[in-house]
Structures are given as C-alpha cells and as structure tokens.
Amino acid sequence: MDKVKISEIENSNEKTLHLDINEYIDELKADVNASLDITPLGEFVSVKGEISGNIKLTCDLCLKEYDYEFDFDIDEMYAKNSVYDEDKQEVEIKDGQFVIDLYGSDEIDIYDLLYQSVILELPNKKVCGINCKEDYFQKDDSFKVPDERMEIFKTIKIEK
Ligand SMILES: [Zn+2]
C-alpha cells in the first residue's frame, strides 16, 4: 500500500477511496494505523482521516529510547498541478489549508503522507517520562544567578 492513482478513484463509482492502513515505517521506527478518505475534487484531491500508532523516540535528556503514542486527524489538500502556476485560474482554498503539489502526477504517495504527517505531530521536546523531566528541572531550579550579566537567564521560561 504505497501509492494511490487519482484517475482510478475518479473513474470509480464511489468517487472516493476509503483506506484502512497498517504500515510500519522503518525510517521512523513507527507503527502507523490510518483510516483515510481520498476524494478527488477537480483540480484538487482531499485527504481526510485519522492517524494513530506509536513510535520509538530518543529522550532529549537521558538519551534513552522510549515509546510515544500518537493519535491525530489529518485534513490535507493536494493540487494536481502547481498552485503557483500563474496560468492557472485561482482557486479558493480554505484558510490555512496546506496544499501539497503533485506537479501533474496522477499518484499520491500514501507512505510519504503518513511519514510526513507523523513527523509533524512529534513533540519538540522529547522527554521519556515525568521522572526524567523532574530530575532535569530540579537541577535547573538550583541554578543561582551569580551576577548582573546573568540576570537575563531569570527571564527565560522553560517549557514544561
Ligand atoms: Zn529521559
């Protein structure tokens, strides 16, 4: 289950393709489940659904590997041809809708969609657990401001 042909969906009776996917993404060490509806809409192709699963992440603090679970909705829009092409007539796109160019391709790479979507959902700070976090911040709280030049550090807020 890697690629989906848009023209085949357009020619089908349903005009939309429902996919239930379970895919292991090697590069991410992630086990991904997805339930997607792929619907061609003229110049665009809508991909909506839910992605869940788990991934092995490396803790930023102790560098140990840990399991991280994710579960999120996606609502993506693909443009069959570049939306930046000046010759194309302008099409209104929902506010903040991220449009992925297919550059004339008839295929959507589902594996790549899952890969990119999961990466976007990962936390900026990767922490294996509450205990690891607490140890880290206790150490940090004991930090004393030694002189004026260090005053700036008092104003730094650490995201917990
Ligand atoms: Zn840790």
Spacing, Cα 136 to ligand 1 middle (Å): 9
83 falls within a domain: yes
CA-CA distance, 61 to 48, in Å (whole number)?
A: 35
Spacing, Cα 160 to ligand 1 middle (Å): 14
pLDDT tens, position by position, for the chain (160 residues)? Answer: 589 999 999 999 999 999 999 999 999 999 999 999 999 999 999 999 999 999 999 999 999 999 999 999 999 999 998 766 555 544 555 565 668 889 889 999 999 999 999 999 999 999 998 888 655 555 554 444 455 565 555 555 556 5
Spacing, Cα 135 to ligand 1 middle (Å): 9
CA-CA distance, 123 to 125, in Å (whole number)?
A: 5
- Tell me which residue range forms the domain holding 123: 3-128
Spacing, Cα 4 to ligand 1 middle (Å): 39
Domain count, the chain: 1
Spacing, Cα 121 to ligand 1 middle (Å): 19
151 falls within a domain: no
**Token pair of 10 as six digits:** 């357009």
Spacing, Cα 146 to ligand 1 middle (Å): 29
41 falls within a domain: yes
Spacing, Cα 61 to ligand 1 middle (Å): 5
On the 0-12 / 13-18 / 19+ scale of CB atoms within 10 A, 77 is: middle
